[in-house]
Structure 1
Amino acid sequence: MTHIDHLKSICKLEGIQVVDVGAGDGVYSRDLYAAGAKVTAIEIDPDKVAKAKEDLPRHIDVRLGAAEDLPLDSGSQDLACLFFSLHHIPVEVQHTAFTEIRRVLGSSGRLHIVEPYPYGTMFYVVRLVEDETLVRTHSHETLNHLDGVDGFRLENKKEYVLTREYPTFEAFLEKIVWPDPDRSRAYEKVSSDMEDAFNRSVETLDGKIVLHQPCAAYHFIVSC
């Protein structure tokens, strides 16, 4: 299952206004656009914004901005999505971010957040260069208590496993480690341990070498 497959099963995407908060290089913005949504991608990193503007379809509106200060008009969006990005928002501004997201959603708006759990083969390898145990745990605790708070009501929660293919350890580094300067620096001290963790954690599925990341999708509707 993919994030967009699950989202499409509970929410019509064609023709609606969707903001992808913490869009990164725009991989999920592209998927939302392919599903028929009118997409605005918001990202706080200027380098990723520049790359997204180069790589994404021109009809996707890519903007520099933060979750706690969205460059969008009030009530302008039908759906707000955060794919694996909530735990990157500093804890001290997450409440402000939810208030801001509520502002830009219309009266029948929806909020869809997918967060990875701090376990699974993908996590066990990546934690050697970035241990997100605490921030991921906090995000799930926050989402499990968001029902009835900040103007949102939980409509659906689903746990599933995201499976990603990495043909070689070098391919894993190219996708997961090298694009992030902090991870690249951390890798210098744990290179052999990380390669060993990768080789012990990967499995073959349908002829593909994969790692698994368990996650949960929380789907909220605006509550007046």
Structure 2
Amino acid sequence: MTTLPKEVIVDEIELLRRLVPLAGARVVELGCGNAALARRLLEQQLVTSVMAFEVDEVQHSRNLTDPHLGGLHFMVGGAEDIPLPDASCDVVIMLKSLHHVPISRLDAAFGEIRRVLVPGGYLYVSEPVYAGDFNEIVRLFHDEGSVRAAAYDALRRAAAAGLLTHVEETVFNTPLAFRDFDDFVDRIVHPTHSTLTLEGATLVEVRRRFDRFLTPEGARFVREMRVNLLRK
């Protein structure tokens, strides 16, 4: 049997628009990072409002200093305890953030997401798949295999228990590029929320593996992603 190649998606907002009815939506983004997605959704007038949550207080402070955008609101907090009223949003988005929820609070997080969604509301969860060349480099100093598996298990438990209905799963490839090794370190090893270190023999091996992909134009990888769409 021939296996078809996975779809390549450069800009995930295209997939989000394809899967989720966004027009007029009140969106909650859990783990918004620098709020790039939230800002684009509002700038392109795809949604009505975004309440963007971030547990990293350094990043949250930076978000507050960025230019104000109508409809965008920031709060400190995580998925396991969402300080919003019941049935107060139409869409919840989690981009590469579900596996950052403490394992012991994952089930509580799905309960909270169900609570804040309106009936018929959507949960869009995008997570990196634990596989591929890029993962083989990163896992040397930051192995997320167990937390990603726990996050996926919790998602399936939420669906099996009837908290949310699983609509579909989409697996795709997305390109990932770095100018050089320093760019990789700045973005992957030293983001604001990170306490990771890279030194000694581990640094040598990480750099050796990274350099295999380095060209005069930079280092390019293909990262496999999985999106699960659920509905209340």
TM-score scaled by length of structure 1: 0.88
Paired with 2:83 and 2:51, the residues of 1 have a C-alpha distance of 10
Where do 5+ consecutive residues of structure 1 fail to align? none
- Check the 8 A contact 1:203/1:211 in 2, yes or no: no
**Residue 15 of structure 1: CA displacement?**
2.1
Cα distance, 1:203–1:152 mapped onto 2, change above 3 Å: farther
Paired with 1:9 and 1:163, the residues of 2 have a C-alpha distance of 19
Partner of 2:6: none
Paired with 1:219 and 1:158, the residues of 2 have a C-alpha distance of 8
Alignment of 1:113 onto 2:122: no
* Residue aligned with 1:219, SS: strand
Paired with 2:169 and 2:218, the residues of 1 have a C-alpha distance of 29
**Residue 62 of structure 1: CA displacement?**
0.7
AA matched with 2:227: A
1:122-175 Cα offsets, whole Å, 9 max, x none, are 212221221101111222233344324252101111001121111211111122
Residue of structure 1 aligned with 2:220, choices 205, 210, 218: 210
Paired with 1:195 and 1:126, the residues of 2 have a C-alpha distance of 11
**Residue 55 of structure 1: CA displacement?**
2.8
Partner of 1:15: 24
Paired with 2:84 and 2:126, the residues of 1 have a C-alpha distance of 22
Residue of structure 2 aligned with 1:44, choices 43, 47, 55: 55
- Check the 8 A contact 1:121/1:201 in 2, yes or no: no
Paired with 2:143 and 2:67, the residues of 1 have a C-alpha distance of 30
AA matched with 1:47: V
AA matched with 1:92: S
AA matched with 1:160: F
After TM superposition, the runs of 4+ consecutive aligned structure 1 residues lying more than 6 A away are none
* Residue aligned with 1:159, SS: strand
**Residue 114 of structure 1: CA displacement?**
0.9
Cα distance, 1:200–1:144 mapped onto 2, change above 3 Å: farther
Residue of structure 2 aligned with 1:101, choices 107, 110, 113: 113
TM-score scaled by length of structure 2: 0.86
Alignment of 1:5 onto 2:14: yes
Number of positions where the alignment pairs a residue of Structure 1 with one of Structure 2: 218
Residue of structure 1 aligned with 2:181, choices 169, 173, 178: 169
Where do 5+ consecutive residues of structure 2 fail to align? 1-8
1:19-72 Cα offsets, whole Å, 9 max, x none, are 000112223322333442211101112111111222364331010112111121
Paired with 2:215 and 2:21, the residues of 1 have a C-alpha distance of 35
Cα distance, 1:67–1:150 mapped onto 2, change above 3 Å: farther
* Residue aligned with 2:151, SS: helix
- Check the 8 A contact 1:102/1:150 in 2, yes or no: no
Partner of 1:179: 191
Paired with 2:136 and 2:68, the residues of 1 have a C-alpha distance of 34
1:164-188 Cα offsets, whole Å, 9 max, x none, are 11121111112212225422xx212
Cα distance, 1:122–1:48 mapped onto 2, change above 3 Å: same
Residue of structure 2 aligned with 1:70, choices 75, 78, 82: 82
* Residue aligned with 1:131, SS: coil
Partner of 1:24: 33
Alignment of 1:155 onto 2:167: yes
Instruction: Name the Cα RMSD after superposition.
Output: 2.0
Cα distance, 1:179–1:154 mapped onto 2, change above 3 Å: same
